[in-house]
Structure 1
Amino acid sequence: MRKFLFRVVFFLIPVFCMLAVTEWYMRTIPNTYRMKNEWMLRNAHGVKTLILGNSHGYFALKPSAMGDSIFNLCNVSQRLEQDYFLLCHYADRYDALKQVILVADNSNLFDVPMECDEPARVTYYQLYMGYRAHSMLSQYGFELSNAGYFHQKLRYHYQGQSVMCDSLGWGNNYVVADRNPDDFLYKNVREHLFVNWEYTYRNRDYVDSIASWCQQHQVKLILLQTPVCKDYTRKAPAWQLQWINAMTDSCCAKYGSVKCDYSRDARLSDNDFFDSDHLSDQGACKFSAILAYDLGL
């Protein structure tokens, strides 16, 4: 029995060593989450306008086209929970912060928690952005815990696409020349639909928490609805869009936030989009300039 156990241990040692080396290697690969965290640790003291939100903000808002001292802290599929975490995470470093732009629209106000449908992204917040909602010994503490994202990350790395944003956090890989016309067919238009009231109220509470933080720190909060294609809006239930406006209007009334709704802005056409609800690089430059002008940046 002792000899058997010794052989088992002897066999497992190289396996564990290989896993440890692979995990270490995966963590050395540059990524957008680490890049944004390190940028904020170095430069948050000089940020005057901070942009928070999901892919709608990540691809739509280009700081270099908006003005000085602006940083895009959005990430793909970022939930309002992570928005609130990131806002507070760097709070002791803000010296110049005057304004927060937060995406609050049909794409995120009905989201399920990240742990429910994209747990691998929780790992990135855990490892690279200081998020501590789970133990580092849980599945969220290891790159290798999700095989799909493991292979995807390696593929992007070897294609030279590990960090898919510019130096100020804007997602620059939705190039208009690469758009697929099939994405604009009505049957293929994306839908962000209501799941249940528990998640909806949870998201509303995070918006209120962000608004409360901004009010307490005398920071102006802009609740932003980004431009989307007409068919994207047409597919959304009317009551759902009304509920979004009710939630954001309530937040504005309670905390003094400002709502900016560009979801139906006629200055942007389908040619400015990469798909039905994300602006392309061309559209982002156009919209960023529009928003900067309207906000007086």
Structure 2
Amino acid sequence: MKKLILYTLIFISPFIVIVIGLETLLIRLPNAYMVKADFLKTNSSKTQILILGSSHGITGINPDSFTKNAFNTANYAQTLDIDSKILDRYQDKLDSLEYVIIPLSYHLLWTNIEDHPQRWRRKYYNIYYGIDIEQNPLKRLLFLDETMRTNFQIIQNYYYKKEDPIPNLTPKGFVILKPAKSVDEVEEVSEKVISAHTASDLDWRYFENIEYLKQIIEIGKKKKAKTIFVTIPAHASFVKLLNQKQLNMLYSTANELADNKDVFYYDCLNDFNKDTGNKNYELFFDSDHLSYLGAEVFSHKLDSIIKVLDKKD
């Protein structure tokens, strides 16, 4: 029996060494989570505007368009529970914080990363932020995301070919998306996206997400920072398909939370639909995500809003 165990260990030891090496190389490979966590560890004290949120935030709000020092911590499939945990983790280092910006998307109050098709992203918060999101130790392993062949290709591309694995990510956490080439390109995904983002039960996750919003507000108040909720512009083809009951519930919730003293809400959903010029589609990447052109316009508007709020103090 002892010999069998010994032979088994000898047999599998090369595989274990390969897996450990592979996992180590993958963890050290730059990604959006690493960049953002590293920035917060070293630059939190200088950050005046902190942007939270999901894909709409990471692609729709450009920190470089703000007069104040801003940083974007949003990420794909990032939900309010994670936003709250990120803000809580770094609150003691955010010495200069003046504003927290949270995009209130159509689906946000009825979702959690546990329900998301991209829930595999949970482990990145464990690895890079030190926030305990993924409870299963095996699911925290990066090499299990891809086939071994793909993993080796990823490693080769970065370590040997010196290719940038995150070419569209700016140093301040914004993802650059190219403009759509036509109206058809914008509209073609509208129905599919609406279907995925419309809640079948408006009580599902709603009350727990309200608590996360309140936690964010309270941390903001503790830091003497204002909280700005904002609904980011979407294309008309997306807006016309929205479930009005869900949308109105989002609006009423946001307006109830806003006191216009410490907490503010701005509905910009139709901002880019007021101008129906032929090039309107260039402001979008798809029907509910802005291109870098749209993000620049929208971010400048947010900057103007902040300047107005500053004057009121």
TM-score (norm. length: structure 1):
0.89
| Residue 193 of structure 1, aligned match among 193, 198, 201 | 198
Q: Which shows bigger deviation, 255-264 or 119-128?
A: 255-264
> For residues 253 and 229 of structure 1, do their structure 2 counterparts lie closer, same or farther at Cα, with a shift above 3 Å needed?
same
Distance verdict in 2 for CA 1:21–1:166, change over 3 Å: same
Single out whichever of 17-26 and 268-277 deviates more from structure 2. 268-277
Amino acid paired to 1:293: S
Tell me the distance in 2 between the aligned counterparts of 1:103 and 1:239: 19
TM-aligned CA deviation for residue 295 of structure 1: 2.2
Shift of the 177–96 alpha-carbon distance from structure 1 to 2, 3 Å rule, reads same
Q: Distance in 2 between matches of 1:97 and 1:149?
A: 43
Cα shift at 1:160: 2.6
Asked whether the 8 Å contact 2:80–2:209 carries over to 1, the reply is: yes
Unaligned runs of 5+ in 1: none
Give the 3-state SS of the residue equivalent to 1:259 in structure 2.
strand
Q: Distance in 2 between matches of 1:56 and 1:276?
A: 11
Question: What is the one-letter code of the residue matched to 1:193?
Answer: T
Q: Which residue of 2 aligns with 1:280?
A: 291
Q: Counterpart of 1:296 in 2: which secondary structure?
A: helix
> Structure 1 175/30 Cα, relative in aligned 2: closer, same or farther at 3 Å?
same
Q: Which stretch of structure 1 is more off in the superposition, 121-130 or 188-197? A: 188-197
Residue 162 of structure 2 corresponds to residue 162 of structure 1: no
Alignment of 1:50-199 (within 5 A): 50-114=50-114, 117-135=117-135, 138-147=137-146, 151=150, 154=154, 160-162=164-166, 164-172=168-176, 174-176=177-179, 181-185=184-188, 188=191, 190-191=193-194, 192-196=197-201, 197-199=203-205
Instruction: Give yes or no for the alignment of 1:207 onto 2:213.
Output: yes
User: What is aligned with 2:311?
Assistant: none
Deviation, 1:198, is 3.2
Equivalent position of 2:29 in the other structure: 29
Please report how far the alpha carbon of residue 213 of structure 1 lies from its aligned counterpart in structure 2 after TM superposition: 1.8
- Structure 1 vs Structure 2 CA RMSD: 2.7
The offset of 1:127, in angstroms, is 0.3
Q: Does 1:238 align with 2:244?
A: yes
Q: Which of 224, 232, 236 does residue 218 from structure 1 map onto?
A: 224
Count of residues in Structure 1 that have an aligned counterpart in Structure 2: 295
Q: What residue identity is the alignment partner of 1:250?
A: E
Mapped to 2, the partners of 1:26 and 1:8 lie a distance apart of 27
Q: Is the 8 A contact 1:50 1:101 kept in 2?
A: yes
Q: Distance in 2 between matches of 1:186 and 1:36?
A: 29
Alignment check: 8 A CA contact 2:71 2:172 kept: yes
Contact residue 181 and residue 282 of structure 2 kept, 8 A: no
CA pair 77-187 structure 1, distance change in 2 beyond 3 A: closer
Gaps of 5+ in 2: 309-313
C-alpha deviation, 1:56, in angstroms = 0.7
- Aligned partner (choices 244, 261, 267) of residue 261 of structure 1: 267
Moved more, 126-135 or 218-227: 126-135
1:70 and 1:165 mapped to 2: Cα distance? 15
Distance in 1, matches of 2:115 and 2:140, equals 13
Identity of aligned residues (%): 21
SS at match of 2:75: coil
Q: CA deviation at 1:130?
A: 1.5
